[in-house]
Amino acid sequence: MREDIKEGDELMLIKSNEKIIMKKASELDENFKEDLEFAKRTEEAWEKYKKGEFKSMDSKDFLTEIEKW
C-alpha cells in the first residue's frame, strides 16, 4: 500500500463512518469528484440496506437496472 507514497508526499484522508479513502494530494483531479460521489452513494446504499430498504431481483433484472446508471 505504501509503494507509491514517499516521505514528504501530501495525502488527503476522507473518513466516512468506518471507511477511509486515502489519496495523494498531487493526484487530485476531476476523478476526485467522482471518487467523492461514489463514496457518498455507497454510504447512502449501506444506510438503506441497514434499514431494510433494498430490492431482491434476478440477475437479468439486475443487469437491466445497472445499464440505467
Could you state, in order of their start, the residue ranges of all structural domains in the chain? 11-68
Q: Alpha-carbon dihedral of residues 60, 58, 50, 12, nearest 10 degrees?
A: -30
pLDDT at 47: 92
pLDDT at 1: 62
- Average pLDDT (60-64) is 93
Single-letter code of the amino acid located at 46: W
Over 70: is that where the pLDDT of 52 sits? yes
pLDDT at 3: 78
Single-letter code of the amino acid located at 56: S
The rounded percent of the chain whose pLDDT value lies above 70 is: 94
Pairing of strands 11-16, 19-24: antiparallel
Assess contact for 25 and 11: CB atoms under 8 A: yes
